Structure 1
């Protein structure tokens, strides 16, 4: 099996596109850092004095403000006071702030490239006419298919590593190194804010991102075994990727009325929600989402290997 995996990884890196994807991630990280540096205020050493002055000004303005403005002014006042109470610089910026804000957002590119590679890894054998030569080797079909799947997973994880390492280096060079456990306010999906530690929060998001990435790889890999056309497999894989985010939000709203909607896969595809809040819906927590994804994962894998075992490889 190890030789099969090594051979498949060699095939992946034998294509220029596989290296180009890594270069694009590096460029995206550097450009993201430069843009954030140019459009972000420089952290002030006197931020406490400035924040206290803001609090004092808001307290004065509240006395004469129109009723329709008092609500947002009070919310701003409370937030400014929280910065002081928790000793959190609202304009703080370091490599870990960059990692949590910008680098994590680039995981969308990682998922896209993982989907493209996974969608093409089997279908390209049909398109190139090399599937027969592949299957005449003294290996079971399931072993050949598993080696391709594991190779796609390994390559995708390498993309994640490239993103994290390049993000840390670029962030350190552009913004300087900061405290790993520095506190900051993270926005929740409901519009509130929670106090978190910047470094651990970033890695928590990455940890929650990995199961979703694995499911996208699995769906794309299944499509790669279903279609002999590489273009069709990749196209549908990308379509599913972008459709999932849209459907996820719609089905979450639908699930508030219909219980069955909670068991569809799309609301559970973005587990990073749990880095911000404990529930997606009133009774949908992380264990339920993981269980739901696990069930779909097993179904996708069974379909993939069953179809490939019985597939007519005539070209």
Structure 2
């Protein structure tokens, strides 16, 4: 219960900022910004498309904003405590440093998931208003939901990386910059054909290739022969555990006097 209270307190801190609500409102309006021009100036889009395919288009175009939101949260949640001088007050509480740090991590993840939900619901609602609500096969919903689900591993790792760098080096600018560069360079690292490259995180975040639904995996083979979902999940978890482990170790030993 104490940990849940810490998480709740961190969520209250995040939601008390105007920038958080501005971003959520921006996400709500984003679907309109994409949908209205399509409806007004690309009338042919309605032929063969529906509100679900529109929602998929919105996610493909706009999910980058949620990723950037995650990186900023991960970079600022600890560094702002140092900048504002509130880190001392935070650490004099009965809760241990590990619990405090993990509560910040969990609170940020929850806020990012809420951002995904806002984007999903607003894009479906705008799509229904602009392109109708014709009854569709279940496959359409499965493909749309999978686009959200399978984007989470990559986003969560980048968020964890930003959280790690910000906590260790106490620099939000460095954390955001490195995370963005790594995100952009990920495809280049994933293209390496050396056998050891199978252990790189960038070759183990695209889990949709292991999905049995051909509409989702699109026939894409694993980066290396013999790779399985279990292998990718293990490598992924190891990377997260290492990043969080080092982050906790540094935070526990750091002198904030």
TM-score (norm: length of structure 1) = 0.73
Residue 140 of structure 1 deviates from its aligned partner by 0.8
The number of residue pairs the alignment matches comes to 247
Change (3 A) 1:29 1:42: closer
Please list every run of 5 or more consecutive structure 1 residues that lacks an aligned counterpart in the other structure.
44-90, 183-196
**The structure with more strand, counted as a fraction of residues:** 1
Contact kept in structure 2, 1:132 and 1:313, CA below 8 Å: yes
Partner in structure 2 of residue 206 of structure 1: 148
Partner in structure 1 of residue 42 of structure 2: 39
The one-character-per-residue Cα deviations of 1:88-121 (angstroms, maximum 9, x if unpaired) are xxx3121101012223432211111011011100
The one-character-per-residue Cα deviations of 1:39-92 (angstroms, maximum 9, x if unpaired) are 25054xxxxxxxxxxxxxxxxxxxxxxxxxxxxxxxxxxxxxxxxxxxxxxx31
Alpha-carbon distance between aligned partners in 1 of 2:250 and 2:132, rounded to the nearest angstrom? 52
State the superposition RMSD in angstroms.
Answer: 2.0
Partner secondary structure for residue 133 of structure 2: coil
The one-character-per-residue Cα deviations of 1:224-247 (angstroms, maximum 9, x if unpaired) are 21133xxx32x3333334323432
Contact kept in structure 2, 1:96 and 1:178, CA below 8 Å: no
Partner in structure 2 of residue 244 of structure 1: 182
Contact kept in structure 1, 2:203 and 2:223, CA below 8 Å: no
Partner in structure 1 of residue 213 of structure 2: none
Task: After the TM superposition, list the runs of 4 or more consecutive aligned residues in structure 1 that deviate by more than 6 angstroms.
Answer: none
Residue 21 of structure 1 deviates from its aligned partner by 1.3
Partner in structure 1 of residue 88 of structure 2: 132
Bigger RCO of structures 1 and 2 (CA < 8 A, at least 6 apart): 2
Mapping of residues 1-315 of structure 1, within 5 Å: 1-37=3-39, 38-41=41-44, 43=46, 91-181=47-137, 197-228=139-170, 232-233=171-172, 235-255=173-193, 258-272=194-208, 275=216, 276-283=218-225, 284-314=227-257
Change (3 A) 1:163 1:150: same
Change (3 A) 1:109 1:277: farther
- 283-292 or 93-102: which moved more? 283-292
- 291-300 or 211-220: which moved more? 211-220
Partner secondary structure for residue 254 of structure 1: coil
Contact kept in structure 1, 2:38 and 2:45, CA below 8 Å: no
Q: Who wins on radius of gyration, i.e. which is larger?
A: 1
Please list every run of 5 or more consecutive structure 2 residues that lacks an aligned counterpart in the other structure.
211-215
